[in-house]
A and B are shown apart, each in its own frame.
Chain A
Amino acid sequence: MKTAALAGAALLLSTFAASAWEPTKSVEIVVPFGPGGASDQMARTMQAIIQKHGLSKESFIVVNKPAATGGEAMMDIKKSKGDPHKLITTSSTIYMTPLATKIPVSWQDFTPVGMVAQDEFGLWVAKDSPLKNVDDLKAAAKAANPPIKVGGGGSKREDELISFGVFTELGAPISYIPYKSGGEASTQLAGNHILVETNNPSEDVANWRAGLTRPLCVLSPKRIAYTAKVTADMSWNDVPTCGEQGLKFTYNMLRGLFMPGGVTPEQQAYYVDLIQKIVATPEWQEYLERNALLSDVRVGKDYVDFLNADEAKHKDLMAKAGFLPTN
């Protein structure tokens, strides 16, 4: 009954929205990364939901533009000014790529649609590692010579930024080893080639469940909400935050959508409405839980305020870590 009522309401809403503006041809969701990654999965999940629930008369197509660490995709959206049939998925690379590479583009050039979730990050160790908490890690890192090996996906990206933040606070030197992806870092951890790594839950959950790696703590201010058992005896909610163990540094990463600049408010409103319908579906909830994402939907001014604050935080951290180009 309840779902029928919801569906009815959604139908009413969409007829209402139809009188305002709706797409007149297929819509491209530009993913600034290659197929198979986290952003790609999000875009394809949205595509599947739109298709399954008939949320739009026009089809949505996912286009991967991985060139230049997402820089090319961002330039593409910048050039598509006024085109209401394009969307781009975002993560923190939306500030980090322009800051690190000086590509002349900024999210300020785009029209914000909304944030749909935040990604969690954690510190991970191998299953049989003697490290049990942040204090153990601090002691091990301080005692090690040569410095302990910390792995992550990419160089001067979020994983290295997190490693920098954590170990600066712990006051210990590290050797950060960048891998091509978080998945690769997780496998290297399972094979004991590194001591600790920073990863999204989704990048490490397979090895955790298989008893190869385990989370030391999560870097979010609050514990992850999901209480369903992931391994035989633990749920995401059972993993302590690093804050509980005395670490002040926290990190989350936004997942959201933008459209090109210069579109009309009606066109923007259509997509704001659309993502709110998407996040209300059970498939979306499944997607969030599967990847242990933090449900956090922000639109309008709320989203813009978040972006401003988050960009300032990244800029500050990148400057301290020396990741900004000097020339």
Chain B
Amino acid sequence: MENFGYLLDGFQVALTLHNVLFMLLGVLLGIVVGVLPGLGGPNGVAILLPLTFSMDPTSAIILLTSIYWGALFGGAITAVLFNIPGEPWSVATTFDGYPMAQQGRAGEALTAAFTASFVGAIAGVVLITFLAPLVAKFALRFGPAEFFAVFFLTFCSFIGMGKENKAKIIVSLALGFILAGVGIDTISGDMRMTFGVTELMSGIDFLVVVIGMFGISEILMTLEEGMSFKGKKAKIDLMVVLRTWAELPRYFVTFVRSCIAGIWLGISPGGAVAASFMGYGLAKRFSSRGERFGTGEMEGVVAPETAAHAAGTTALLPMLALGIPGSATAAVLLGGLMIWGLQPGPLLFVEQKEFVWGLIASMYLGNIVGLVVVLSTVPLFAAIMRIPFALIAPVILMMCAIGAYTVANASFDIWLMLVFGVVGYVFKKLDYPLAPMVLALVLGDRAEDAFRQALIGSAGDLSVFWDNGLVTSLMAISLALLLWGPIADGLSLLRTRRPAAAE
């Protein structure tokens, strides 16, 4: 209850006129950077950081976190409209969001995505408000073995839940792992698979691959299918928001499931990307509409967005409480904190109460402001779908190129993006799933690092993976989720056969 009092004080700080204006400005700027893939949160925040040096720290962090919220919301826009995930955690949003847009339901998909982000974020903030100190301590229990177990859990839950051809899933997954291995290896410091190419030394950036495999390949597919977006006759008005809202309560269980998965992965620093895939995977398996996922099911948009934002928000907690950045954007914010003269770390909550609670209050308000702003832009963005493909394709291509370039300010990445565009096209033609490859690419090297760090520490003894209750239970849940799919399928097969045999 003590926290609640601080929170009210925080609202007083955050609700002053100039802070609300900063929030609005931040959210708008954030949406702009979020829409451009690659530009994204970290760059947006870094560009504006110098402007905040002369501001008071609370206003400064409100402005910068609002950019973060705006970018989080904005990432979903290109994912739904063009199949280009603006941010890594929007990948799973494309699975059902883009088919919806193609069916002329872009407005519904965007509304569902924004609302789901909002619900997830608020769930995360509520947790930060009441459990911050407790949760911060919990994160310290994660050593390399526990980290590996969390990544393992993500892989298992996504793959065990997948309904595609298992052999194709494994091929796609293995390719992702190989790509994740390119570049300087964290553990040995040696080059792997760079073939003397300097540009490959820092590895293949996930966003470059994703922009190519999803964005460019989609342009290729559309060209082949005769240059038309199928959704261009969609009727668009603000009512679409209300109609979608009326539908959303049906997915109550999915919201709850994704919030839990997201918060759990946000605390146990698995991150928003892992959370979005897990949220999608769980919903696919446990929802009654799971069979239709991937064909434009609104629940398939809700599940990953809710989980990603619950995780993304809770991930700010380790940054504030422990001084470890949970994401690239958080790393920039961390740099900002220090330049403003604040020392992130466990003492921030004790020494800078006004700042911390002002920030937490601004998380509530920033998300509300963000939701209002993005929802009012839904018709605008959905209208983009009416523009003839011949006109919009060059713009998309240019956005993709800018996005790929901005990731590391390297023109080599633009070529890489084009190569992966072709790879993505081939994958789609041969009916290989893209998601496992993307998942392996994002989490593969982190999982590998954690696995090897754990084994270096134990001098090669595998028992480190069932050394304590935490890691053992994580591994057990992973295996259960991995095997759940095949076993449940087997059981239902038996059940349908038995009545047939009885007849």
Contact = CB atoms under 8 A, between A and B. Distances in A.
B140 A190 contact: yes
A193 B464 CA distance: 12
Contact of A209 (B45, B343, B453): B343
Contacts of B199: 67-68, 72
A175 B457 contact: yes
B53 A51 contact: yes
Contact of A68 (B42, B198, B335): B198
Interface stretch (B171-179, B318-326, B358-366): B318-326
B16 interface: no
B144 interface: yes
Contact of B140 (A44, A147, A187): A187
Contacts of A65: 408-410
Given A177-B457, A183-B325, A193-B144, A63 B409 contact: yes
Interface stretch (A152-160, A273-281, A306-314): A152-160
Interface stretch (B66-74, B185-193, B215-223, B291-299): B185-193
Contacts of B190: 156
A41 interface: yes
Contact of B201 (A68, A212, A290): A68
A35 B46 contact: yes
B201 A206 contact: no
Contacts of B191: 101
A188 interface: yes
Given A35-B46, A191-B142, A100 B189 contact: yes
B72 to A, nearest CB: 18
Interface stretch (B114-122, B244-252, B344-352, B421-429): B344-352
A286 interface: yes
B409 A64 contact: yes
A193 B186 CA distance: 18
B474 to A, nearest CB: 15
Interface residues of B, number: 52
Given A41-B339, A178-B187, A51 B323 contact: no
B189 A323 contact: yes
Interface residues of A, number: 59
A64 B189 contact: no
A135 B354 CA distance: 44
A179 interface: yes
Given A35-B328, A35-B331, A68-B199, A177 B144 contact: yes
Nearest to B408: A67
Interface in A110-124: none
A207 B54 CA distance: 28
B343 A206 contact: yes
Contact of A40 (B185, B335, B346): B335
Given A155-B186, A178-B187, A190-B140, A210 B347 contact: yes
Given A175-B456, A205-B343, A71 B49 contact: no
Nearest to A45: B339
B449 interface: yes
B453 A179 contact: yes
Given A64-B409, A187-B324, A48 B198 contact: no
Contact of B328 (A34, A193, A212): A34
Contacts of B144: 177, 188, 193
The CB with the most chain B CB atoms within 10 A, among A37, A44, A75, is that of A44
Contacts of B324: 183-184, 187
B339 A180 contact: no
A194 B453 CA distance: 11
Interface string A211-230: 11000000000000000000
B243 interface: no
Given A37-B331, A157-B189, A193-B144, 14 more contacts: A35-B46, A35-B331, A44-B50, A62-B46, A65-B410, A67-B410, A69-B184, A71-B198, A72-B410, A149-B456, A156-B188, A206-B345, A207-B322, A209-B346
7 closest cross-chain pairs (CB), A and B: A206-B345, A36-B331, A155-B189, A156-B189, A146-B459, A193-B143, A210-B346
Interface of B: 42-43, 45-46, 49-50, 53-54, 139-144, 184-191, 198-199, 201-202, 322-325, 328, 331-332, 334-335, 338-339, 341, 343-347, 408-410, 449, 453, 456-459
25 contacts: A35-B42, A35-B45, A35-B46, A35-B328, A35-B331, A35-B335, A36-B331, A41-B335, A63-B409, A67-B199, A72-B199, A100-B189, A146-B458, A154-B186, A155-B187, A156-B189, A177-B144, A177-B457, A183-B323, A206-B322, A206-B323, A209-B345, A209-B346, A211-B346, A286-B341
